[in-house]
Amino acid sequence: MKHPEIFFRTLSVPIVFVLLAVGFHEFMRGHNAPGGGFIAGLIIAVAALLTRMATEHGLLTVRPRLLVPIGLFVALAGGIGPMLIGHPFLKSWHGYVEFPLFGPVELSSALAFDLGVFLVVVGATITIIDLLGDDTELARLGLDQEPSPVIHESTVEEITSPKEEY
């Protein structure tokens, strides 16, 4: 992925912006329409990966794996919050809050919990794919070379004709 196609590189910028907007939208409307933290998290992760592939530098300035504990903490806090005022774990509250420009926006305390879910999903997805896509990793495993024709591992089934196909 060292030399991404020029179309891909050019198009990725508007696409990423669209994805970010869609992700935010999905997240906010999750309580009442299709969406929510999980879906929004995946969208943002895809956006981040797209940037990574197209531009060699990431969308995020933090290390994605840091988002995982932060997200867990936020979700936990969203759950424990109600306990502090004497409600059971994760008891939710909802109501309308007046915002300038936007008008009334419905907010739910479950949104904090959902934000935690969102962060964990984004962090975990990017971390895993980043790790697998890392070229230094290949070098470490000795897989950056052309595979040697010698077959190292033997299996229980007898290998009769190792054909190479792509």
Residues 94-113 as x/- pattern, contact with other proteins by CB under 8 A: xx----------x-x-x--x
Q: Please classify residue 131 by burial: count the beta carbons closer than 10 Å to its beta carbon, then call 0-12 exposed, 13-18 middle and 19+ buried.
A: exposed
Q: Does 160 engage in binding with other proteins (CB under 8 A)?
A: yes
Q: Single out the residue of 4, 15, 20, 31 in contact with other proteins (rule: CB under 8 A).
A: 31
Whether the CA torsion 74, 79, 81, 84 is positive or negative: it is negative
Structure tokens at 62: 């933090």
What residues contact residue 134 under an 8 Å CB cut-off, 6+ apart?
A: none
Residue whose C-alpha is closest to residue 16's, from 45, 41, 38, 37: 45
Binding positions for other proteins, 120-149, rule CB under 8 A: 120-121, 123-125, 127-129, 131-134, 137-138, 140-141, 143, 147
Q: Which stretch binds other proteins (CB under 8 A): 6-14, 34-42, 54-62, 97-105?
A: 34-42
Asked whether the beta carbons of 26 and 19 are under 8 A apart, the reply is no
Residues found near other proteins in the complex (CB under 8 A): 26, 30-39, 42-43, 45-46, 49, 65, 68-69, 71-72, 75-76, 79, 89-90, 92, 94-95, 106, 108, 110, 113-114, 116-117, 120-121, 123-125, 127-129, 131-134, 137-138, 140-141, 143, 147, 151, 153-157, 159-166
